[in-house]
Amino acid sequence: MDADITLHVDGRPRQVTVDTRTTLLDALRERLGVISPKKGCDHGQCGACTVLLDGRRVLSCLVLAVTRNGHEVTTADGLAPAGALHPVQQAFLDHDGYQCGYCTPGQVCSAVGVLDELDAGWASIVTPDGAEPHLDDEEVAERMSGNLCRCGAYAGIRAAVTSAGGAR
Ligand code: FES
Ligand code: FES
């Protein structure tokens, strides 16, 4: 069965007719030509398809597009609408947080999600010794653990997220 839906993608309303079984990832890539979210596993295991849905990070391969009619989707492209890089994107550049780049749009969206979750109080950093909470390498590794990088650029990715987090 088909359904007519509108997705607000990177600030633009986009109308599309989708089979009700179509994932958000397939709607973006194959129906709307929005290709920065990547299809790695298509099973919720790699994070390459991560986008921000109403401001929160989701795996778009696990979301049915028809269930998000009228919602806001932000991809890595939408983080730099006027060509000026988002601070997290700049941090990935500054810290060599990528090699092939395939996982990078998902990594960047996930990193923005991590920092926004902390800023909004949806998540908090727990320090057992009572020290001031801070976003260190270990904390970033845990919070970014849903995003795999086959190139092994993890050190640069963690450095980028830690740096961007510290600058907020
Ligand atoms: Fe969605 Fe791998 S393509 S998690
Ligand atoms: Fe190649 Fe991460 S930069 S998979």
Q: What CA–CA distance (Å, rounded) separates 104 from 149?
A: 8
The pLDDT, as a whole number, for residue 60 is 98
41 lines ligand 1 (CB under 6 A): yes
The pLDDT, as a whole number, for residue 81 is 80
- For ligand 2, atom 2, which residue shows the shortest CA distance? 149
Handedness of CA 127, 136, 144, 54 (dihedral sign): positive
Structural domains in the chain?
A: 2-79 (3.10.20.30), 87-166 (1.10.150.120)
ipTM of the prediction greater than 0.95, yes or no: yes
For 58, phi then psi, to 5°, come to -140, 160
Kind and range of the H or E run holding 57: strand 56-59
Which of 41, 75, 144 to mutate for ligand 1's pocket (most ligand atoms within 8 Å of CB)? Answer: 41
Picking from 156, 125, 145, 152, the residue whose alpha carbon sits closest to that of residue 46 is 145
Calculate the dihedral angle through the C-alpha atoms of 81, 86, 88, 94, rounding to the nearest 10 degrees.
Answer: 110
- CA of 102 from ligand 1 middle (Å) equals 12
Which of 59, 145, 148, 150 to mutate for ligand 1's pocket (most ligand atoms within 8 Å of CB)? Answer: 59
The pLDDT, as a whole number, for residue 168 is 46
Cβ atoms 38, 106 nearer than 8 A: yes
Across the chain, which has 168 residues, the per-10-residue mean pLDDT values are 97 98 98 98 98 97 98 96 91 97 98 92 74 82 97 97 80
Q: What CA–CA distance (Å, rounded) separates 4 from 73?
A: 17
Crossing angle (nearest 10°) for helices 104-120 and 87-94:
130
For 32, phi then psi, to 5°, come to -110, -5
The pLDDT, as a whole number, for residue 82 is 83
The pLDDT, as a whole number, for residue 133 is 67
